[in-house]
Amino acid sequence: MPMRRAKGHSEPCLKLPSDEVIEKLEFPSRLPSPLGDLRFAKQSGSGVEANTNRFVGSQTMAERNSSFQIRENMEVHCGFYGEDPGFDIDEVDTAFLKTCKAVVTTCNFGGGDDIYQPIGMSNASLAKVCYVAFWDEVTLSQMPEDKRPSPDTRMAGLWRVVVVRNLPFNDQRRNGKIPKLLGHRLFPNVRYSIWVDSKYQFRRDPMAVFHALLWSPQAALGISEHGARRCVYREGKAVVAKNKALPAEVDLQLSQYQAEGFPENATFNGHKALAEASVIVREHTPVTNLFMCLWFNEVVRYTARDQLSFPYVLRRFGLLQLNMFPVCTRKALVNSIGHKQKAKPLERIPTE
């Protein structure tokens, strides 16, 4: 286990319970939520307006501002808006997703990465936790034969592979934000989830991770602090310098945040608010689901670089039990293998 210096002494970056404790871990009882009924906006009428994305609809700035005003009963934009929103999953996979109570999930759209088998889990966790990888048809066609899912079981090693068709965005980065941020829309019965970017191999027992990063610190969401910066405006400049977003779209987003008074070195509960979101551990509650909806809406309104919108949503939302864990904890959760290639523009398989 990697070690770090904290308060003058060395300690493990990730404090996991013993094997004996892991074998006996069960999901804790749900706690009361300040948010009662969370509903998701859907298209009314027979057609989506011109220039409106069928998946997200057309959220006005007034609706955006209202969505941050937490009320007992709320309706917010959260994807899957139109009658035919896209992100199509067949009936067999849809039925399987409903069986999961906890899940480790990843995605690979556009054939950009390999698939890395998770390691380090106990048999007890395997009985409680699903492993689901979302692919598109491009990834399926480009994956080496020995790493493709079985046609009968749809399994590739420990991963249940769900092939998604009719992706709603031309930008593969935005398509990837659907399983990353909207897991509660895909897994209606999941209570806990771990998101892992496709460049990583997950290497810990998921039940032990829930215990260490959520249950023990009494948090509802765990995410890594950013390793290089604390200022979202400096992060925006770095994103542009690395050609990860267009200067105009980053300027539009950060100019809006600046106009709303968002500070340079924003903090939340004593930690810097800028995060590195390649691993996300969370409980699925009305509050965290709402937070993820708001985060997703910023990603589709502005840039797909979700680290730019996270601190803004976090500070404005406020109502979140957050565990902002150190970078070395994230590194202890995964083996970093890296992307094989950058995601390609959307390629649709022609229908016959």
What would the DSSP string read from start to end of 139-187? HHHHS-GGGSPPTTT-EETTEEEEEEBS-S-SSHHHHHHHHHH-HHHH-
The predicted pLDDT at position 156 comes to 96
Q: Is 268 helix (H, G, I), strand (E, B) or coil?
A: strand
The predicted pLDDT at position 48 comes to 55
The predicted pLDDT at position 349 comes to 31
- What percentage of the chain carries pLDDT values higher than 70? 93
Q: Does residue 256 have a pLDDT over 60?
A: yes
Under a CB-based contact definition with an 8 Å cutoff, are residues 191 and 285 in contact? no
Q: Does residue 348 have a pLDDT over 60?
A: no
Q: Residue 11: pLDDT band by 50, 70, 90 thresholds?
A: confident
The predicted pLDDT at position 31 comes to 77
- What percentage of the chain carries pLDDT values higher than 90? 81
> Which H or E element spans position 335?
strand 334-336
The predicted pLDDT at position 47 comes to 59
183-209 confidence digits (pLDDT tens): 999 999 999 999 999 999 999 999 999
* Bridge partners (DSSP) listed for residue 325: 224
Mean pLDDT of 322-332: 95
Buried b (16+ CB within 10 A) or exposed e, 149-186: beeeebebebbbbbbbeebbbebbbbbbbbbbbbbbbb
Mean pLDDT of 82-88: 94
Mean pLDDT of 337-348: 51
Task: Return the higher-pLDDT residue of 258 and 344.
Answer: 258
| Lowest-confidence pick of 8-22, 64-78, 96-110 | 8-22
Q: Does residue 8 have a pLDDT over 90?
A: no
Under a CB-based contact definition with an 8 Å cutoff, are residues 264 and 309 in contact? no
Query: Which of 326, 325, 290, 296 lies closest to 310 in space, CA to CA?
Result: 296
56-73 confidence digits (pLDDT tens): 999 999 999 999 999 989
Q: Which residues contact 305 (CB under 8 A, 6 or more apart)?
A: 239, 244, 245, 250
Distance CA 320, CA 322 (A): 6
Mean pLDDT of 105-109: 97
The predicted pLDDT at position 49 comes to 60
The predicted pLDDT at position 352 comes to 28
Return mean pLDDT, the chain. 91
Q: Does residue 267 have a pLDDT over 80?
A: yes
